[in-house]
Every structure is written in structure tokens, then in C-alpha cells.
Amino acid sequence: MNNFMQKYIYWQDDLMFLGYLEDYLDYWTRQNHRRTVGENLIDIYKDLTGGTIPSYSDQQ
């Protein structure tokens, strides 16, 4: 089992939950459930750190 440890910020705005990774402020998600926000942010993190978004490293 892989452990994932990345801090993220989330809040509820009306009926939607919004969130972003603390270390990647430009990448946000909006979902109907808090749990889904966390799952989506894990996917975003994997894309950013796994080379799926090749231009991201050029921006740093």
C-alpha cells in the first residue's frame, strides 16, 4: 500500500468543496464531496510529479 502525504487546503462554498495542494497553488479542484476533492488532488499531484504535465517542471 502506498502512503500519500501532501498537505492540501479545502473549504466548502455553498454546495461545492474547493481545494488545492499547498505546494502547487495553481492547481485547484472543485467537487461535490470533500472526499472527492482529496482524491482529485492526489491525481493532480501524481500528474505533476510523474511527468504527465511535462511543461510544469519548466515553470519552476
Residue 4: per-residue pLDDT: 62
Within a domain: 1: no
Q: Is-above-0.85 flag for pTM?
A: no
Q: Which cell numbers hold the place of 40?
A: 482529485
First to last CA, the chain: 30
Within a domain: 31: yes
CA distance 36 to 18: 10
Distances (CA, A) of 19 to 2, 22, 24, 56: 22, 9, 11, 19
**Domain tally, the chain:** 1
The one-digit pLDDT tens for each residue of the chain (60 residues) are: 456 678 999 999 999 999 999 998 999 999 999 999 999 999 999 888 888 876 655 555
Residue 50: per-residue pLDDT: 85
Return the SS3 of 57: helix
* Residue 48 domain boundaries: 8-59
Residue 1: per-residue pLDDT: 44
